[in-house]
Every structure is written in C-alpha cells, then in structure tokens.
Amino acid sequence: MAQGENGQMSADGMGPTTVVGMEDGALTPEILERIRTLPLFAGLDRTGLAGLLGGAELCSVERDAVMFRQGEPADRFYIVLSGRVVLLVMDNAARESVIEVVKPGDTFGEEAIFDHGLFPFGARVIEPARLVHVPAASFLASLATDFKFVMMMLASMSAHLRFLVRQVGELKLKTTEQRLGSYLLAQTLEGQASATVLLPYDKKILASQLGMTPESLSRALAKLRDVGVSSGNSSLTIADVARLRAFCRESDISE
Amino acid sequence: MAQGENGQMSADGMGPTTVVGMEDGALTPEILERIRTLPLFAGLDRTGLAGLLGGAELCSVERDAVMFRQGEPADRFYIVLSGRVVLLVMDNAARESVIEVVKPGDTFGEEAIFDHGLFPFGARVIEPARLVHVPAASFLASLATDFKFVMMMLASMSAHLRFLVRQVGELKLKTTEQRLGSYLLAQTLEGQASATVLLPYDKKILASQLGMTPESLSRALAKLRDVGVSSGNSSLTIADVARLRAFCRESDISE
DNA sequence: CGGGAGTCTTGACATACGTCAAAGCGGATG
DNA sequence: CATCCGCTTTGACGTATGTCAAGACTCCCG
C-alpha cells in the first residue's frame, strides 16, 4: 500500500510533461476491490468489472502532468485512486479556468466518449496521483452488457449536469463572497452548527474554480470574517453555519 | 398541420399560469413520425417508440406558462414540437438566470430523472408551444429495452455537459462583447464568410442567457458594430465572420 | 389614427472586480 | 541555518459592468 511515492521524482522538472507513466501496470486485486466500492461501479459484478478493466492500466503521475488537453481525441477515461486532478478550459491566450477538481474515488473524461469524441476540457494533475486508465472500448462493451451500470452512468452524468447548472447560476447571480461562502457550505456536512473546512489545494486553484482572481479570493475571505469565518492557514472555521448560509442566501440558488 | 395556433388565446392573461393544457390528448400518428426523426429517438423502432410514448400526452401551452419549478419532483420530461421554452435557475431574491433556450426538436428535463429526482432548474414557455409530456416510468422502461436508445441518451447528455462546460468557461474568461460574439458565431453555419442571424427571442432573454443585463447587451451590440456587425431590428448581419471570430478569439475557448 | 404598454437604447453614475506592484510568509533545497 | 521561489496578502488604481433613470421605438388594440 505504501508504494505510491517511490517512483523517482526524476529528472526534468522543466514544464508540464505531457504523458507520464512511472509505474504503469496491471491492476492488483486490492485495487479491483477498491473500485468495486465506488458508487459508479456499484452495479457491476466481479466478472463485469473484470471486463471493464481488462485493458485498464494503473499509472502513477506526478504533479503538473497533463493527462489530456482540450480537443484531444477521447479514447479513454480515468479513475482517481489517490491525488487530485483539475479539469480546465483554456482560451487561446493561454489563460485557463478550472471547471472542477477531481478527488480520489471520482472518475473523469468518461462523458467525452459519448459525444463527438473530443475532450471538452483538459486535465492536469495538481497532487501526485495514482490513476486507472480505462480504454473507451472496454468501457462501451461493459455498458452494453450491464444495464445497472448504464443507470449508474446516467445518474453520474446527471449529477454532473446539475453541478454545472448550479455553477452557471452562481457565476451569473452571485458575488465573489457569496460564491466563496457557497463553496464552504458545500464542504460542510448536513446539519452542522459550526464546521472546520480544510482547503485541499492551493487558493490559486480555488480562486480559478470560483471564477475569480487569487487577490479577490483573499479579499473575499477577509470579508467573510465579518460573518464568523476565521481563516487559519489552510483550514477555515465557520463559527456559525446558519449565519454564513443567511449571508449567501441574500442571493442564493435555492436547491 | 395548420392546427397549432387556434387554441383560443383565451381569458386570463394575468400572471404566469402554473399548469396549462389547452388541447391535451393522445398523440397523432403524424406526431409519432415527427418524433422518430429527432436524433435522440433515432435508435428506437416503431414498437419501441410506442412503448416510450404510451403514457405520453400532447399539450399546448401559452406564453409564460411554467412547466415546472426548480426543486420540483422530476417524474416526467418534455419534447418540444413547436415554440420555445427557457430553462432557468433562480435565487431566493426572485432574480433568475436563463441557462438555456429550448427549441423545437429538443427535449428538456430528462436528465433530472436519473439524478436525485428533482429538477435542477425551472422551465417557462416564452413562445406558445406544443409539447409532448412523457412520464418518467415509460421512459425508463424504454431505456431498459433498447440499447441504442441508451447510447443516444448518453450522447445527448454528454453534448449537454459540453455545452455547459463551454458556458462556464466563457463566463469566466470572456467579456460581455466576446460572449455575444461567440453566441452569434454559434448561430452561423460552418464556413460562411458573412451571415445574417435572426434573434429568435427577446434581447432581454438573450442578455440573461449570456449572463449580462439588457443594457450591457445593447452596448455590446454597439461595440460589435466596429467589427462589422450591423444590427437590424431583430436580425443581425455579420459582414465578416472571420473578423468577428478573430475579435472573440482574443480570448476564445478553443474547441 | 392615436394612445399605451413593453422593449430597447442611451446616458450618468456607482461599484465590484481585475490589474499591477510590493511586501510578508512558508516550504523546499543547498 | 541561509536562501530562494512560489503562494498569499495588502494596497492603489483602472475599468468593465451593473444600477438607476429617462427617452425612443415597436407593436397592439381600440
């Protein structure tokens, strides 16, 4: 299990490497079991999962590795075992914007397989990760044989759609402070009176995800101090969740 | 065929009516054939389609009718035969934002059925429409029996996801003028040197869709005059598509 | 033909947010 | 332990865009 970080953090730290596979290889039984516990694959029995992952490979990738770029052919998707990956869109002026941050247990890139076959966003690793690379072919074959898998897939895409609809609504209707507040509230569990949220990645990335600059994020955090959000180093404490909720609800996207 | 607009534009024009069915009823064979030509249902044979639309109803709805609200249980979806419907999110301050405008041949609301069962957006008719109301149950049954339908469904949702990803990117990276330009370019056909685009709905709605106020839209249009976009009454003419594209590409979301 | 209501435009103004710049801070590396 | 580099914060400033208000245009309907 403690096998992750020993791939030599080798050589060229110069710029993002496009393809990195340090210890590619077949999947161990433990990993197969791990994947079986993920919601998306809950519908698959062991043989179904074996079919899906027949051509799959485990790969360990370092920080800043680019898994694919926007517009590339989508002949595969990924399951995240550990680490984090950002999905982002770019304009041709090389500015980029984070759409989503993918965490262990999530998958990414699978939607593109059904569409016109090109990734609508790029993917870059922001925290050393172990990923399972699944070829599109076996994925499609699995869908054909297992209707429960189909339903899980539809549910997953549907949840994604909801996520994006919400994001669009927030970008259009809420201020920077409210968007930050909403993000924090989303990290808390249901029915907590107060909570401590730890930021799992750089504020720079969070800022991009929330559609603002790092400077604005910093100032937004300062403003939230007025409603009882104290900002530790990389963890924030919400003194009064209800109060923060009220603050955001001044213009909230009612679920 | 000329049977659409005779439902008497009757009585109470007072405020949005929540449910309106002027000539609800069973589907005619012509309508069935029409639906069979839509991309989403291309995979279904006649018996499959009959199964899907067994419990379906035709309904004619007038302008401002609310088909459903955000957060309502999603036990159905709709096929648009004529007219237009806006999908929108609201904040609790009663402000709202248009996510998408649905046109004849499109469907809406089907994604919510797979998720947690609540519509993540509301739907309001902005142009007198004829819709087919399809219950979720028969829809799900059809998916179970026809794998081609499943694939069309996945492709449709995937395209939706791409649409939303693009929208998020544009909101975060582009100015109002560039967003307007992108919208216009999206209305042109591939490889046209110049084009005339007619706006199919109020500028008020377009403004909301593009994430700006009507005033800003008006000014953005004025600015685009400098790059050869002349604005007629409800139709615009792009003198030089390439030039407009270059203008937008100053910060374009490269496909 | 003449209101009248809503849409659209234009203007003046306010402000939220991005930009640029400089100064803490913190974790890596030697 | 010292240094450096990138992240974060704070400040000063400019500007894009929202807000408020008034006028122009369009379409209905009497």
A234, closest nucleotide (Cα–C1'): D8
Q: How remote is the C-alpha of B16 from its chain's centroid?
A: 19
Considering only CB atoms, A112 lies closest to which of B89, B158, B208, namely B158
Asked if residue B171 lies in contact with residue A175, where contact means CB atoms within 8 angstroms, the answer is no
- pLDDT of A253 reads 61
B-chain residues within 8 Å CB-CB of A151? 114
Round to the nearest angstrom and report the end-to-end CA distance of chain A.
Answer: 40
- String of DSSP letters for A178-198: HHHHHHHHHHSPTT-SSEEEE
Q: What is each CA distance from A84 to A2, A61, A81, A87, A100, in whole angstroms? A: 18, 10, 9, 10, 10
Alpha-carbon gap, residue B165 to A22, rounded angstroms: 31
CB contact under 8 A, A157 and B114: yes
In terms of C-beta density within 10 A (0-12 exposed, 13-18 middle, 19 or more buried), how is residue A250 classed? middle
Asked if residue A122 lies in contact with residue A163, where contact means CB atoms within 8 angstroms, the answer is no
Cα–Cα nearest to A210, from A153, A237, A248, A240 = A248
Q: Is residue B255 over pLDDT 60?
A: no
Alpha-carbon gap, residue A135 to A142, rounded angstroms: 11
Q: Is the CB atom of residue B110 positioned under 7 angstroms from any atom of strand D?
A: no
Of A2 and B196, the structure prediction assigns the larger pLDDT to B196
Averaged over B97-125, what is the pLDDT? Answer: 96
- pLDDT of A175 reads 96
Two structure tokens written together for B164: 């939303």
Q: In which band, very low, low, confident or very high, does the pLDDT at B123 lie, cut at 50, 70 and 90?
A: very high
Length of chain B: 255
3-state secondary structure of B219: helix
CB contact under 8 A, B254 and A157: no
Q: Is residue B12 over pLDDT 70?
A: no
pLDDT in tens, B186-219: 999 988 999 999 999 999 999 999 999 999 999 9
Nucleotides of chain D in contact with protein CB (under 7 A) are 7-12, 16-21, 26-27
For tokens 């237009």, the residue is B84
pLDDT in tens, A110-137: 999 998 899 999 999 999 999 999 999 9
For tokens 């389609």, the residue is B49
8-state DSSP, A3: T
Two structure tokens written together for A164: 């994006």
Q: Where are the alpha helices (DSSP H) in B84-226?
A: 136-145, 147-173, 176-187, 203-209, 214-224
Averaged over B18-27, what is the pLDDT? Answer: 60
Asked if residue A178 lies in contact with residue A251, where contact means CB atoms within 8 angstroms, the answer is yes
pLDDT in tens, B54-92: 899 999 999 999 999 999 999 999 999 999 999 999 987
Percentage of residues of chain B with pLDDT beyond 70: 89
Calculate how close chain B gets to A181, using CA atoms only, in Å. 15
CB contact under 8 A, A93 and B251: yes
* CA angle in degrees (0–180, nearest 5) for A88-A253-A90: 15
Nucleotides of chain C in contact with protein CB (under 7 A) are 7-12, 16-21, 26-27
For tokens 């377009």, the residue is B206
Averaged over A197-212, what is the pLDDT? Answer: 96
Please enumerate in sequence order all residues whose Cβ is within 8 A of that of B251, keeping only pairs 6 or more positions apart, or say none.
A91, A92, A93, A95, B173, B174, B175, B178
- pLDDT of B96 reads 94
Bridge partners of A189, per DSSP, are: none
8-state DSSP, A27: P
What is the residue-averaged pLDDT of chain B?
88
Of B156 and B8, the structure prediction assigns the larger pLDDT to B156
Q: Write down the pTM of the prediction.
A: 0.90
